[in-house]
Amino acid sequence: MGSTELPDALAGVLTGIQRLLRRRLRRGLTGPRLRGAQVELLRLVSTNPGIGVSAAAKELYLAGNSVSTLVNQLTTAGLLRRETSDDDRRSARLLPTPEAEARLRAWEERRAALVREQVERLSEEDRAALTAALPALRRLAEGLHEEVGTA
């Protein structure tokens, strides 16, 4: 594979996998459908309860006003809570609601089961190839993360 073919093929496969996972997982979902940025913010708040809007914006590489809009949407939907920070009364701490935690947990469990089922269908050789590729894929993700952080 040539120097331009591998990056294009890899990007296409990864995008396709992500799209297919989302489509399969959307079936049977209860509650309003969330956009990608909303889910990213919910995941971030779930793993960092009490994070502020500006810290969330920095972590997600979004403008503060964009995150504020997402916070308003998710608060209205009953998925986020805003609390006044003890340190600075002007800033808010973001916390997931129990409904948000349940939705994220159900999504993660369904995603893990779907991927596990598909991986189990692969041949032993294909599973070994995927296992061997994981360190390189992690390094690729780290490089992308670092590059976004400096942009």
CA distances from residue 130 to 47, 124, 141 in whole angstroms, order as listed? 27, 10, 15
pLDDT of res. 99: 93
Tens of pLDDT, residues 90-125 = 778 999 999 999 999 988 999 999 999 999 999 999
pLDDT of res. 147: 65
**Residue 9 near residue 3 (C-beta atoms within 8 A):** no
What is the average per-residue pLDDT within 6-32?
Answer: 86
Tens of pLDDT, residues 25-69 = 887 677 778 888 999 999 999 999 999 999 999 999 899 999 999
pLDDT of res. 144: 85
CA distances from residue 48 to 114, 139, 146 in whole angstroms, order as listed? 26, 24, 20
CA distances from residue 100 to 45, 67, 93, 111 in whole angstroms, order as listed? 10, 17, 16, 16
